[in-house]
Amino acid sequence: MKNNLSLKIIIISTLTAVFINIFFGRLIAAKISTWPVLNRLQILNPQAPIVINTREEVRVSETGDVVKTVNAAKSKISAVVMKGSGNILQLGTAINLTSDGLFLTVESVIAGKQPNQLVVKLDNGKFGEVSEIIRDPATGLVVLKTGLNGMGLADLGESDQLTTGERVVLLDASLQDYLVSFQDSNISEDQESDMLGKFSSDFPTRSFVLTPSVSKLPGEAVVDLKNRFMGIRDGETVISSDVIKDFLVRFLANSGNALRPEFGFEYRITGKLESELLEIPFGAVIEKISAGSPSQKAGLKINDVLIAVGGQSINQENSLEKLLGKYKPGDEVIINILRQNIPESITIIPAELK
């Protein structure tokens, strides 16, 4: 009799323990373990991943990532300010470029202004007067030179790595210390999609497209959720970080002078389908040639298909824009073309873009 009673007690105890473990340990504890009070006291802190087998939809919010991005990036942008008679006015935003006082913005921020009218204000409240304005005629980028130093610097990413749908943050500097305004956006078209447009040999435009959003002031910084600066917004267009980096290489290599080559033609990229149906290589179809340009003088013609520059084939990794951007005025540039499906090569000596 006692043995039967003991067996019943063991069975009931086991079943009760299993029930408590399933109902409380896995369901109730899993839900309340995220309460802030219990987290601070380290009570019911789960030691293994929690698996939820209900039909509830589980979403991971990126709000925290956006806040982290804003807080990390805000010290790397600055306000461009105009001094007036008795007042000041913020014109736009610039990104902190170098530790010795160079800032990068766009032409629409400082259009028509002289250096002695402008001041750059850091996130921490320090400011410096602009001593020089250096313009890039090809991109609309502008470098502002000041006497500031020691500020946080923007980390330029690779904009061609952005994908359609990816989330980014648009940052505007402020006249108030340690304060920025921001808005969410997404990539609606990546740079690869943008390759299907019409382009100029002299004006770099490869970029991505953002979902529609209101631009507060020009010069907004476009930052991804890994805190990499992917471009500068200028109205509805974005000057991508890839274009910015190419400009900086040219700018720094020429002692602060953004020398640009002028070729003088317009083109479109042949798509994959067109290449396959017409049995032509991937390349650039010449659609317009400027009168008196270096390309016209070299013998380039409309409908020529440009397939290589300096021995490097044009493809999605090596865009024509990128290949032409490696040269400076006066260089001899060997161009491989197809003219009525017959291979030819010509040499173009680019002038300086004014």
Percent of the chain whose pLDDT exceeds 90: 59
Are 268 and 197 in contact by the 8 Å Cβ rule? The answer is: yes
Domains, the chain, ranges and CATH? 2-58 (no CATH), 61-257 (2.40.10.120), 261-352 (2.30.42.10)
Query: Could you report the per-residue pLDDT of 235-258, keeping only the tens digit for each?
Result: 888 999 999 998 998 888 877 777
**Range 188-215 average pLDDT:** 81
Which helix (DSSP H) or strand (DSSP E) does residue 80 occupy? strand 77-83
Q: What span, in angstroms and rounded, lies between the C-alpha atoms of 37 and 347?
A: 73
Average pLDDT over all residues of the chain: 84
**Residue pLDDT, tens place only, 287-308:** 999 999 999 999 999 999 999 9
Measure the CA–CA gap between 246 and 324, rounded to whole angstroms.
Answer: 11
Q: What are phi and psi of 144, to 5 degrees?
A: -105, 125
Which 8-state DSSP code applies to residue 56? P
CA–CA distance, 255 with 70 (Å, rounded to integer): 33
pLDDT score at 37? 44
Radius of gyration of the CA atoms of the chain, in A = 29
Confidence of residue 35 (pLDDT cuts 50, 70, 90): very low
Pairing mode, if any, of strands 102-106 and 88-96?
A: antiparallel
Other beta carbons within 10 Å of 170: 22
What is the amino acid identity at position 208?
F
Task: Point out which residues pair with 335 in neighbouring strands.
Answer: 309, 346
Q: Predicted confidence band at 5 (pLDDT cuts at 50, 70, 90)?
A: low
Q: Does the structure show a pLDDT above 50 at 34?
A: no
CA distances from 273 to 255, 269, 279, 282, 327 (A): 44, 12, 9, 10, 31
Dist. CA 151–CA 292, nearest whole Å: 46
For 209, other C-beta atoms within 10 Å of its C-beta total 17
Looking at per-residue pLDDT, the higher value among 55 and 106 belongs to 106
150-172 pLDDT, tens digit per residue, is 899 999 999 989 999 999 999 99
Q: Is the pLDDT of residue 47 over 60?
A: no
Does position 59 have pLDDT exceeding 50, yes or no? no
Cα-to-chain-centroid distance, residue 4: 75
Tell me what pLDDT residue 193 has.
66
Lowest mean pLDDT across 79-83, 222-226, 270-274: 270-274
> Which stretch of 34-38, 56-60, 106-110 has the lowest confidence by average pLDDT?
56-60
How far is Cα 251 from Cα 272, in angstroms, rounded to an integer? 35
Read off the pTM. 0.75
State how far the Cα of 204 lies from the Cα of 250, in Å rounded to an integer: 13
Q: Is 125 helix (H, G, I), strand (E, B) or coil?
A: coil
CA-CA distances (angstroms) from residue 104 to 61, 78, 101?
33, 10, 10
More confident residue, 99 or 39: 99
Question: Phi and psi (nearest 5°) for 191?
Answer: -65, -30
Give residue 226's pLDDT: 93
pLDDT in tens, 17-33: 555 555 444 444 444 44
Question: Residue 37 belongs to what H/E stretch?
Answer: helix 36-40
Q: Pairing mode, if any, of strands 312-313 and 284-289?
A: unpaired
Per-residue pLDDT at 110 exceeds 90: yes
Asked if 201 and 269 touch (Cβ cutoff 8 Å), the reply is: no
